[in-house]
Amino acid sequence: MKIAEDKAVSVNYYLTAHKDGGPEELVEQTSVEHPFVFLFGYGQLLPDFEANLAGKQKGDKFDFRIEAAKGYGLVEKDYVVKVNKEAFIVDGKFDDARVKQGEDIAMHDQDGNQLIGKVLEIAEAHVTMDFNHPLAGHDLHFVGEVLEVRDATAEELDHGHVHGPHGHHH
């Protein structure tokens, strides 16, 4: 069975990334015991990731790269912002236990969407945060193998994710 829309797919891979010609660094590694399992064709993954797996079947190996612009995007300077320190006041004082340089902090935009920002600098009146995806600006390199391809169940298709041993559990 080949990878196509409405298939439940299980892959084992390792992902490395590099930025600006620097060395490749390991970002993520799955295993046969803990594979990456997903529904193919649901727009939940990077389009080029799915495009490189389309048509493959159990036992096929893969080795492909995705340029930063087609992966998690380029680094956007507009996503580095100064947030007033008042946004981090808890019980009348600045939350220095949570807001530390280098830490990732979950926040919400004006529409209620959750964003993760990395604290770059803490100044007297503001905190400079980077809301770019951690892999923005990085070229990605996936190497792995297709472990399983099967028809997704009606329930999985309805829920938009794979159920079962390595998929989502309710």
Residue 75: C-alpha distances to residues 40, 116, 136 (Å): 28, 15, 5
Give the amino acid at 93. Answer: K
pTM, two decimals, is 0.84
The SS3 call for residue 52 is: helix
* pLDDT on residue 170: 44
Query: In the prediction, which pLDDT does 17 show?
Result: 97
Q: Which domains, and CATH codes, for the chain? A: 7-72+135-159 (3.10.50.40), 77-130 (2.40.10.330)
pLDDT < 50 positions in the chain:
168-170
Per residue in 86-114, pLDDT (tens digit) is 999 999 999 999 999 999 999 988 899 99
Q: Look at residues 132, 14, 144, 142 and name the one whose alpha carbon lies nearest to residue 72.
A: 132
Residue range 15-30, pLDDT digits in tens:
999 998 889 999 999 9
Q: What is the pLDDT of residue 2?
A: 98
Give the C-alpha separation, 15 to 115, whole Å: 23
